[in-house]
């Protein structure tokens, strides 16, 4: 039987390089299966698990009976908590009516695009991009249109580059702090984007799932900029801020009418998020910013370590790494593509990193390093990586 074109076309050829850039990742996984001791710096997942008190609360709430259907928009306590958090962080008046809880940020990205794009509408996104972006846009029946950012700008998008491709578009998806580049968008960048959205009448979908992981500068939510609250949908999540990736708890914050529409979508798709998970999210957020800082601390530490290791050498360049749990490293001095470098590093030293080409074409000649292993091993892996790059440079 034939499957729909809609579902068959979710995966497109969006990435650069000879393969789709994920070959090295699957090779590394296979090596692990075969018993090889691989240092995996690939996936954006904490090396700690969800904190025991959060799980104990989840367990108690489930045993206490919160296992039936939960309110589809999210339980009142969680919507209130998210609204208060967003208002405190951005200054934008926000109530529960501006919040819908979703099964993770990923479902929020899909819901946001579905809410604003009709089938065939053009949805803009920026390269390099988080792997699911173009497929999510297609899953929502919109048409992805990619816009390059530039390594020489440390991947801060230029509003003029976006404007050059924005005609006829409906939405623009941005992500700061950024996966995969570690870039935190400056106020100037965001003001430019906001102006463009107002001029071109675009919806802005702002993926802020890394908003607690900022090492330099400050996280600014574009929803707080002039006249942007009415055209911005913010995607948030417990995954990165509270090390709750497996709990699948995220949200969309936006104008009431859009939130009502997404609640309607949720009624007909996910039917909400389990109540005991939402209880655990309320509990986790009640631990306050000190807890969020604790979750972010290992990445902050490793980023400082990386700066030390990468200083005083020029075989590997560090994109400033202002936020999120990744480093984007420029390996163009070796003469290799990111993909060739990643494959060679895996073969020679059993260190697995993601080629920049797996995130589009703008980060070709780069690699992404996830700072998700224990400090000593992380530092040793970076030192090996630098020595390896220097060796390649001398032979090419």
Helix (H) or strand (E) holding 39: strand 39-40
Q: Is 359 in the site for ligand PMP (CB under 6 A)?
A: no
- Out of 222, 250, 275, 320, the only residue in the binding site for ligand PMP (CB under 6 A) is 250
Helix (H, G, I), strand (E, B) or coil at 329: strand
Interface size with ligand PMP, residues (CB under 6 A): 13
> Residue 176 carries which DSSP code?
S
Interface of this chain with ligand PMP, residues 95 to 124, rule: CB under 6 A: 104-106
Q: Is 165 exposed, middle or buried (0-12, 13-18, 19+ CB in 10 A)?
A: middle
Which tokens is 9 given? 């076309």
Site for ligand PMP in 173-202 (CB under 6 A): 175, 179
> Shortest distance, CB of residue 372 to ligand PMP, whole angstroms?
11
Q: Decide whether 192 or 250 has the Cβ nearer to ligand PMP.
A: 250
Identified binder of ligand PMP from the candidate list 54, 137, 209, 331, rule CB under 6 A: 209
Nearer to ligand PMP, 207 or 316 (CB): 207
The torsion of the CA quartet 373, 21, 123, 260, rounded to 10 degrees, works out to -40
- Minimal distance in Å, beta carbon 50 to ligand PMP? 12
Site for ligand PMP, residues 114 to 173, rule: CB under 6 A: 130
Nearer to ligand PMP (CB atom), residue 243 or residue 351: 243
Question: CA 247 to CA 277: how far, in whole Å?
Answer: 7
To ligand PMP, the closest distance from the beta carbon of 236 in angstroms equals 8
383, β-bridge pairs: none
The contacts of residue 213 (CB under 8 Å, 6+ apart) are 177, 240, 241, 296, 299, 300, 323, 324, 325
44 binds ligand PMP (CB under 6 A): yes
Shortest Å distance, C-beta 348 to ligand PMP: 28
Q: The tokens of 367 are what?
A: 């690699």
User: What is the Cα–Cα distance from 141 to 143, expressed in whole angstroms?
Assistant: 7
What is the C-alpha separation between 112 and 159, in angstroms, rounded? 22
Residues 271 and 69 sit within 8 Å (Cβ to Cβ): yes
Cis amide prior to 128 (ω within 30 degrees): yes
Q: Which of 221, 237, 241, 278 binds ligand PMP (CB under 6 A)?
A: 237
Which CB atom, from 250 or from 320, has the smaller least distance to ligand PMP?
A: 250
For residue 61, state whether it binds ligand PMP (rule: CB under 6 A): no
The residue within the footprint of ligand PMP, chosen from 212, 245, 337, 372 (CB under 6 A), is: 245
| Residues of this chain that bind ligand PMP (CB under 6 A) | 44, 104-106, 130, 175, 179, 207, 209, 237, 239, 245, 250
């Amino acid at each position: 039987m034939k499957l729909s074109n809609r579902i068959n076309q979710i995966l497109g050829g969006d990435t650069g390089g000879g393969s789709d850039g994920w070959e090295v990742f699957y090779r590394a996984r296979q090596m692990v299966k075969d018993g090889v001791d691989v240092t995996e710096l690939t996936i954006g997942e904490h090396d700690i698990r969800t904190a025991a008190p959060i799980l104990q609360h989840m367990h108690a709430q489930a045993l206490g009976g919160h296992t039936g259907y939960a309110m589809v928009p999210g339980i009142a306590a969680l919507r209130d908590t998210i609204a208060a958090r967003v208002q405190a962080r951005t200054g934008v008046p926000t109530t529960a009516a501006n919040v819908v809880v979703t099964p993770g940020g990923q479902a929020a990205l899909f819901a946001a695009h579905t809410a604003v794009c009709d089938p065939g509408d053009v949805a803009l996104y920026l390269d390099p991009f988080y792997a699911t972006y173009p497929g999510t846009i297609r899953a929502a029946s919109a048409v992805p249109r990619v816009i390059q950012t530039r390594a020489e700008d440390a991947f801060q998008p230029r509003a003029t580059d976006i404007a050059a491709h924005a005609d006829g578009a409906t939405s623009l998806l941005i992500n700061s702090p950024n996966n995969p580049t570690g870039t935190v968008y400056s106020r100037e960048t965001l003001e430019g984007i906001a102006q463009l959205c107002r001029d071109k009448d675009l919806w802005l979908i702002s993926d802020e799932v890394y908003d607690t992981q900022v090492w330099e500068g400050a996280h600014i939510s574009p929803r707080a900029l002039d006249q942007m609250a009415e055209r911005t949908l913010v995607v948030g999540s417990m995954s990165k801020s509270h090390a709750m990736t497996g709990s699948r708890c995220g949200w969309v914050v936006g104008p009431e009418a859009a939130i009502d529409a997404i609640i309607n979508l949720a009624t007909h798709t996910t039917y909400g998020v389990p109540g005991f998970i939402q209880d655990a999210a309320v509990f986790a957020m009640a631990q306050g910013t000190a807890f969020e800082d604790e979750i972010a601390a290992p990445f902050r530490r490793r980023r400082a370590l990386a700066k030390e290791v990468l200083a005083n050498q020029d075989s590997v360049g560090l994109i400033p790494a202002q936020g999120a749990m990744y480093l984007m490293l420029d390996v163009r001095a070796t003469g290799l593509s990111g993909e060739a470098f990643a494959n060679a590093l895996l073969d020679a030293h059993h260190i697995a990193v993601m080629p920049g080409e797996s995130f589009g074409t703008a980060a070709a000649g780069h690699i992404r390093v996830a700072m998700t292993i224990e400090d000593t091993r992380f530092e040793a892996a970076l030192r090996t990586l630098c020595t390896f790059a220097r060796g390649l440079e001398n032979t090419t």
